[in-house]
Amino acid sequence: MNNNVRVRMAPSPTGFFHVGSARTALYNWLFARHHNGKFILRVEDTDVKRSSPEMINVILDGMKWLGLDWDEEYFQSQRLDLYRQYAEKLLDTGQAYYCYCDPQELEKERKEAYKKKINWHYDRRCLNLSPDEKEKKEKDGLPRAVRFMIPDTTVKYNDLIHGEIGRDSIDIEDFVILRHDKSPTYNLACVVDDADMKISHVIRAVDHITNTPKQILLYEAFDLPKPEFAHLPLILGKDKSKLSKRHGAVSLMEYRDQGFLPEAIFNYLALLGWSPGDDKEIMSCNEIIERFMLDRVNASNAVFDIEKLEWMNQQYIMVMDRDELITRSMPFLTKEKIYTNDLNQNKVKLRSIIDLMAPRLKVLADISKVRFFFSDEFQYDDKLMQKHCTKKTLDIMADYLTVFRKIEPFDIKTLDESLRTFADKNTIKAREIIHPLRAYVTGQEGGPGLFETMAVLGRDTCIRRIEKILKQSGHNV
């Protein structure tokens, strides 16, 4: 298959670029790169009313952010004449016919049949019109669509993921291939383009599996070679329901804005339905390309787990080069007005903070939790402060402050030893100082190691914040 593989991603710019579309694009890209083939981007923008340049840019930006480059680019809106020419071929050979029916009336019939639990197919009423009836409709200028006439046959094909699939023609109605406005429907445009672009493998979501028999019939009607088909399983939420926003199914670029790394999203999506054959989870792009094969795509539905994605993102953050992590974190620091990248700010301190925070970041947006490192203007947890501002605790902290002021050198080791020595001397547990001390200097209950945090904050900042809490509680300091 090497060099003969040609696959495509064919997004419709009528909505955001979601997880499902991103995985489909990724699997096509991986398959092409594994076989040294071509990955083609084909924007299916024939629905003029719903398509927009903004949505096209969202798709392109999402693919670029994920690292998916493409070898060729097409827009269906620029190929309308080609689709009409193919429809004319079917009309000329009697394999298609004009339909003058009102689409809204047909939809009304379909809904009425559904309510009565009756199967409804278009009854070929326009195919059976007499010449006089056709002539009258033409003279009246009635809008007309073009319907493909389903031959009396059974469609069978081998899906590379699901195995052999068959469908009787009796279950397929004569479907529209050109609308009243002469715009092509999905099935016609898809077949014409896949054949014209010499697509070797159609790898797409399983919800297209009902379209495949229709498209195979069109390939045969046009006497065109058929590609291989592979329909990817659904992506479900953890509760096994259809993936929705409450499961984390947001636009791909929202994951970027939340601070997910593209390499982590890439890695996670690759494993969302595909297995390399072992238990390995963290893999580089090149390793995934090398190992990616369609026969290892599971036919069962995949489950999207946002917690697993956060875990994977955290693994990438932890091993990332610190200078690179600072660069990628900077937009989140500046957005929260925590760090302005001003030359006067202490970049050495920022490096120390990043070193402390890296193992605790699930997403880069979590870096906003470091505000207390840069400013006294941070939010204290009210319940936490009530817990650690009892008279007993305040008295202990006031006594400890006299020792704290004299700690020398002000480093991790000495801070630790000093606190534990004070606790032993006063017959109290170390945690009776550690927990309130963290609350006073950071406003938080958790975070990086306390002594590491205070070493970065510095003596003056720590003393100032402890004094502030004690003064607010009526202690003389």
Q: Classify the C-alpha dihedral 177-179-184-187 as positive or negative.
A: negative
Structure tokens at 453: 């945090």
Task: Check if the beta carbon of residue 177 is closer than 8 Å to that of residue 185.
Answer: yes
- The verdict on whether 89 is a catalytic residue reads no
Best CA proximity match to 77, nearest among 218, 176, 183: 183
Q: What angle do CA 1, 189, 135 make, to 5 degrees?
A: 145
Structure tokens at 39: 């990955």
CA distance 344 to 17: 40
Which amino acid is it at 74? Y
Binding residues: 245
Best CA proximity match to 39, nearest among 216, 197, 215: 197
Best CA proximity match to 308, nearest among 359, 237, 389, 228: 237
CA distance 466 to 433: 12
CA distance 308 to 22: 17
Which amino acid is it at 205? A
Task: Tell how far CA 332 is from the center of its chain.
Answer: 20
Over the range 225-258, which residues count as b (16 or more CB within 10 Å of their CB) and which as e? Answer: ebbbbbbbbbbbbeeeeebeeebbbebbeebbeb
Strand partners, 165: 157
Number of H helices, E strands in the chain: 20, 12
Best CA proximity match to 157, nearest among 195, 202, 190, 223: 202
CA distance 157 to 230: 11
Structure tokens at 26: 């990724």
Which amino acid is it at 157? Y
CA distance 281 to 309: 11
Strand partners, 202: 229
DSSP 90-101: HHHTTSEEEE--
Choosing from 64, 198, 245, 280, the catalytic residue is 245
- 152-to-122, 167, 172, 217 alpha-carbon distances in Å: 15, 11, 10, 11
Binding residues for ATP: 245
Structure tokens at 351: 């490096």
Task: Check if the beta carbon of residue 432 is closer than 8 Å to that of residue 396.
Answer: yes
Catalytic machinery residues: 245
